[in-house]
A = this chain, B = another copy of it.
Amino acid sequence: MDRALDLAALAMGRTSPNPLVGALVLDASGQLVGEGFHAAAGRPHAEVGALAQAGERARGGTLVVTLEPCCHHGRTPPCTEAVIDAGVRRVIVAMEDPDPRVAGQGIKALRQAGAEVLLGVRQREAEHLNAAFCHRLRTGQPLGLLKWAMSVDGRTALPNGASQWISGPASREWVHRLRARCDAVIVGGGTLRADDPLLTSRGRRAIEPLRVVISRELGLPEQAKLWDQSTAPTLVAHGPEAPEPERLRLDALGVERLELAGCEPLELMEALAQRGCNQVLWECGPSLAAAALRQGCVQRVAAVMAPKLLGGTAARTPLGDLQLSSMAMALPWREQGLSRSGDDLIWELNGPEC
């Protein structure tokens, strides 16, 4: 199963809206005869690849798979049928598929066809691997990550607004790799106006994440790197109050627009989940970050901390008002990881309810 989980992880950031899945086939004597993983939506499922590689040697053998095989016709036929047709005798599964179209029905179908099914092997690891996919199916929202780069005294810019660069080159590459694991990267209008960011993984992901600007009243610059969609697509979400001339200008640029009734982070997250985003990255300023946190759109944060002192009474900080009135309301987040990145530290934390 560890090998199957490793195979699954090879497609990290490339399978949305689908989960990451890896599979192995052992023949009747226990020899490894096939391996597969799900590489992208629309491509064959992991089980199908592994069974194809095994061929006739799968008969009487064992399938090891990180997620319950599907039993419905999606873009590809049900995997349960392929497993049964291949004559597999035993199926070892890490976790049930939370997709309501499967949800135990795949395991039931395999058992009804006479296969022995063992469920729950390395379940925790499998759930961790597909945390974003599971979160989307449970909540109807993508898993939200929020990252910021700050000085050790908690500043994200100098008093004069300068912010390039607080963190070192290794940390900026780390952010590119982080984007490659996400389906969308979100900024507000303020960040677009101030930084004119590119927001790509710099080619670390074959299909770059969707770049999203959320800006209630628009007022976005006429020239911006995000308007050049030759390397990555851009979506602009705005409120009903957005002026008509700017809408037309964006349409003329070929930039996709999305009108949201309240133009709130939560509405955007629901829209992105419907587009199949499992995991999104907030790379926004303090007000939007605080709004996203207050609306439950952030499950993980990553603070990139540089060994510099910036100071500044009115200098920018990572988060605006969270409306906390007592220290007891500030629930502790749980450490997911602490790593060094050049001279910087990266502290990753999971939300209290996560």
- A: residues with CB less than 8 A from B are 148, 150-155, 158-160, 162-166, 286, 290, 293, 301, 303, 305-313, 317-327, 330-335, 338, 343, 345, 347, 349
Contact = CB atoms under 8 A, between A and B. Distances in A.
A333 B307 contact: yes
B154 A321 contact: no
Contacts of A347: 152, 305, 307, 345
B326 A308 contact: no
A303 B153 contact: yes
Contacts of A163: 327
Given A310-B319, A335-B343, 17 more contacts: A148-B153, A153-B317, A154-B154, A158-B325, A158-B330, A164-B327, A290-B311, A307-B333, A307-B347, A308-B331, A309-B333, A310-B322, A310-B324, A310-B330, A311-B322, A312-B319, A312-B320
B325 A319 contact: no
A333 to B, nearest CB: 5
B307 A312 contact: no
Contacts of A334: 307
B155 A317 contact: yes
B320 A311 contact: yes
Q: Which 4 A-B pairs have the closest CB atoms?
A: A154-B154, A311-B322, A311-B319, A153-B318
Contacts of A160: 325
Contacts of A309: 293, 301, 319, 322, 330, 333
Nearest to A351: B309
A122 B233 CA distance: 60
Contacts of A338: 345
B327 A306 contact: no
**Max chain B C-beta neighbours (<10 A), residue from A148, A307, A326:** A307
**Max chain B C-beta neighbours (<10 A), residue from A165, A305, A309, A327:** A309
B303 A324 contact: no
B307 A324 contact: no
